[in-house]
Structure 1
Amino acid sequence: MPTSRESAVFTVGDRGGWSFSTSTWTNGKRFKAGDVLVFKYDSTAHNVVAVNAAGYKGCSAPRSAKVYTSGNDRVTLARGTNYFICSIPGHCQSGMKIA
């Protein structure tokens, strides 16, 4: 299947990394299925959890959610809206989430 462009790789939060100020990082960016998000963060302080819309809105991770903990996670986007939160208590509520 020919594609119009190669998959793009985005570092979440740019130089600041995955942090409390990333909730607006997606503004003005266009993502496509197959693009890769790289989450860089202190793995002793944060994590990345792939959640659904309800998990994003309610800052809760279902038991079956995929949790990333390496501090340098590469996540390939699926078709549709992808949601990610930090599930450390209080972090998502403080803005550590993106859609």
Structure 2
Amino acid sequence: MEKIIHMVVFGALFVAILLQVTTAQTVHVVGEDTAWIIPLNGPTAYESWASDRTFKVGDTLVFNFNALNHGVQEVSRASFEGCNMDNAIGEALMTSPANFTLTPGEHYYICTDIKHCEAGQRLAITVAGTDTPEASDPTSSTAIDTIPQPSSSTIMFASFLLTLSSIALATFL
């Protein structure tokens, strides 16, 4: 009877680990190694960076920057196009890293230094909702491309739990 209880506990841990890995959201570090700076190749830099990614509800957008020179503000499309903060959404984030948890729809981010925005330090993304055809239609050719990949921290956590459960199983059996 004791062995059955231990196997049930181990099975529950295993299922929890699998659920954690499969529901993991993606962390997108804006600009990757170059971070959130005035881009060398102008306004297309962040546009190019975003075009290689699929943004999903619950993903995290991370802006790394030098807080002495930069900040990040989410704004409306009109403010994005005009490089101003007239229609700011929420508070400006002046501490790095600045994290945004993504919700469905279009999102626009600019540097809090307007001259930096005018030089191309701005980002526009579209976040796919959970009810978009790409996410819900299994026959769609892009459905496989939109599956979020687990972040390295999620993989490390899952590995830790798997190791811990293996030790527990070895101890109890």
Per the normalisation by structure 1, the TM-score is 0.87
SS at match of 1:15: helix
Tell me if 1:82 matches 2:107. yes
Match of 2:65 among 28, 41, 59: 41
Match of 1:20 among 38, 47, 52: 38
Alpha-carbon displacement from aligned partner over 1:22-81 (angstroms, at most 9, x marks no partner): 423212211012110110000000000011111111111126532000021111112101
- Whether the 8 Å contact between 2:73 and 2:88 is mirrored in structure 1 is no
Q: Name the structure 1 match of 2:122.
A: 97
Distance of aligned partners of 1:63 and 1:80 in 2 relative to their CA distance in 1, 3 Å threshold: closer
Tell me if 1:7 matches 2:25. yes
- In structure 2, what is the Cα distance between the partners aligned to 1:88 and 1:8? 28
Per the normalisation by structure 2, the TM-score is 0.52
5+ residue gaps, structure 1: none
Q: Name the structure 1 match of 2:6.
A: none
- Whether the 8 Å contact between 1:17 and 1:39 is mirrored in structure 2 is yes
Higher relative contact order (CA 8 A, sep 6+): 1
- In structure 2, what is the Cα distance between the partners aligned to 1:59 and 1:16? 21
SS at match of 1:19: coil
5+ residue gaps, structure 2: 1-18, 40-44, 125-173
- Whether the 8 Å contact between 1:33 and 1:80 is mirrored in structure 2 is no
Q: CA RMSD in A?
A: 1.8
Paired letter, 1:73? A
SS at match of 1:54: helix
Rg larger for? 2
Q: Which has the higher helix share?
A: 2
